[in-house]
Amino acid sequence: MNPSTDSNQPKRRTITIDPVTRIEGHAKISIHLDASGAVATARFHVTEYRGFEKFCEGRPFTEMAGITARICGICPVSHLLAAAATGDKILAVQIPPAAEKLRRLMNLAQITQSHALSFFHLSSPDFLLGWNSDPAQRNIFGLIAANPELARSGIRLRQFGQGVIEALGGRKIHAAWAVPGGVRSPMSQETRDQIRSRLPEALAIADQGLTLFKQLLDTQLREELEVFGHFPSLFMGLVSRDGHWEHASGRHCAGIRVMASDGSLVADGLREDDYSSFMAEAVEPWSYLKFPYIQALGPEAGSYRVGPLARLNLCERIGSERADRELLELRQRGGRVVTASFLYHLARLIEIVACLEQMDQLLDDPEITATHVRARAGVNCYEAVGVSEAPRGTLLHHYRVDANGLIERVNLIIATGQNNNAMNRTITQIARHYIHGHNLSEPLLNRVEAGIRCFDPCLSCSTHA
């Protein structure tokens, strides 16, 4: 805001919410009111800066999986897998099929644990305890007091996902298990059986969450559906070769799809290697988080959403029975292309079901326990881009290396950043609906924060400009 214009209009005000609570990382929201007390705009300011892109320079590319996994305690696996995929291309190898399947298994576990955290721990207190409940109680501890069974279930579902990651990688977080060329260690029959034995309970918890949330949507969360970031935009993410839901690059993946809200394809089969030819990043002085967009359409028309809702919009079907039933119901509720950001929560629960069903399919594949899991080669390519679907959306790692494999340049395109424009539009829409002049109260401001939580941003991951 320009202060010189401000001094002539003393009634203009800015409300600040600092920090935004129940998100991963540090951010604040400012709500700008005009002279009449109406909301002009609301902005989401990311106030932390981590800068991994710079300090990876000079490191061997083989260490990138281990280094970038330390970017974040919530999404280490996403960086691990994107870094390993980039490393495969620097080696210019086709990784062994078992390695690809094991990486997929770990990504499914990662999406499960992250979505469980978002829904059960961070967001469900708003829905279950209510917007008007005591803010000191409106958190996981309040939930444990009010609905201990549900809170415990959510914790167990997250533990299940983390347990799979730990069983495969040897540790719960920061496991440098995926490496350029494959993975470090195969999976034993024993580990496979152990994971399989825990799937039914995990699926029952996901069902419990789905039943509860759909019931809330039908009874008391109708306004949220309309007001929490309901607008047309593009959607971007990976799809599989048969048009199914996809979460990883590799043999099954058909590349990046971009879809408009009317269901038309803006682009399809885009290769991650070409991202700089179709994506651009805008910068605003008031945030460390960049604003990516589809270059040809410009920063506004080209802005897109990524993550669970985008992935479900982009695919024809998911490819497993229960998840496809839920997808059909989602489309009955929100249309073929769902534009209500509040339904990111429902999309997360459906993706948990999809992950668990696809884990089951992978565990039935005899090749999953094959012992050849790593291809070896030297530096065959000096520049490469790897892609993976992180829980929050499409994640790209771009490295340039010298002949010795030392990193010269890194660019990370993080899922959360790609939802930046959508997050700002969402909080502006919510603020305009609920806030007029002086009717400010904590429950109203919490609704604005909850608009951000729809996107489950991970800010540790996303500020590397």
The footprint of Ni ion (CB under 5 A) covers: 72, 74-75, 458, 461
Q: Which does 64 bind (CB under 5 to 8 A by kind): Ni ion, Mg ion, none?
A: none
Nearer to Ni ion, 312 or 461 (CB): 461
Binding site for Mg ion (CB under 5 A): 411-412
Question: 5 burial class (0-12, 13-18, 19+ CB within 10 angstroms)?
Answer: exposed
Determine the straight-line distance between the first and last CA of the chain, rounded to whole angstroms: 23
Long-range contacts, 168-172 (Cβ 8 Å, 24+): 168/102, 168/105, 168/106, 168/109, 169/77, 169/106
Which one of Mg ion, Ni ion, none interacts with residue 445, CB within 5 to 8 A by kind?
Answer: none
- Residue 412 interacts with which of Mg ion, Ni ion, none, CB < 5 to 8 Å by class: Mg ion
Q: Return the number of the residue (109 or 401) whose C-beta is nearest Ni ion.
A: 109
Shorter beta-carbon distance to Mg ion: residue 412 or 431 = 412
Residue matched to tokens 């429902």:
346
Min dist CB 140 to Ni ion, Å, is 19
Q: From the list Ni ion, Mg ion, none, which binds 74 (C-beta under 5 to 8 Å, kind-based)? A: Ni ion
The candidate with the shortest Cα–Cα distance to 37, out of 444, 435, 441, 448, is 435
Amino acid letter for position 106: M
Closer Cβ to Mg ion, 191 or 411, answer by number: 411
Could you tell me the smallest distance in angstroms from the CB atom of residue 394 to Mg ion? 13
Which of Ni ion, Mg ion, none does 98 bind, CB closer than 5 to 8 A by kind?
none
Q: How far is the CB of 211 from Ni ion (least distance, A)?
A: 29
Q: With contact defined as beta carbons under 8 Å apart, do 287 and 46 qualify?
A: yes
Of residues 253 and 461, the one with the C-beta less far from Mg ion = 461
The pair of three-digit structure tokens given for residue 265, joined into one six-digit string: 């394809």
Q: 54, exposed or middle or buried, with CB in 10 Å at 0-12, 13-18, 19+?
A: exposed
We find the least distance from the C-beta atom of residue 331 to Ni ion, in angstroms, to be 29
Residue 301 phi/psi, 5-degree rounding, is -65, -25
Per DSSP, the residues of 427-456 read: HHHHHHHH-BTT---HHHHHHHHHHHHTT-
| Shortest distance in whole angstroms from residue 368 CB to Mg ion | 34
Answer with the entry of Mg ion, Ni ion, none that 46 interacts with (C-beta below 5 to 8 A by kind).
none
Instruction: Select the binding partner of residue 109 from Ni ion, Mg ion, none (C-beta < 5 to 8 A, by kind).
Output: none
Q: Cβ 48 to Mg ion, closest distance in Å?
A: 15
Nearer to Ni ion, 55 or 382 (CB): 55
CB closer to Ni ion out of 72 and 151: 72
Q: Which of 102, 53, 69, 96 is nearest to 176 (CA)?
A: 69
Q: Which of 280/461 has CB closer to Ni ion?
A: 461
- At its nearest, how many Å lie between Mg ion and the CB of residue 433? 33
- Residue 411's binding partner out of Ni ion, Mg ion, none, with CB under 5 to 8 Å set by partner kind: Mg ion
Nearest to 115 by CA among 424, 390, 418, 462: 390
Q: Measured from the CB of residue 75, what is the shortest distance to Mg ion in angstroms?
A: 15
Residues near 371 by beta carbon (within 8 Å), at least 6 away in sequence: 98, 186
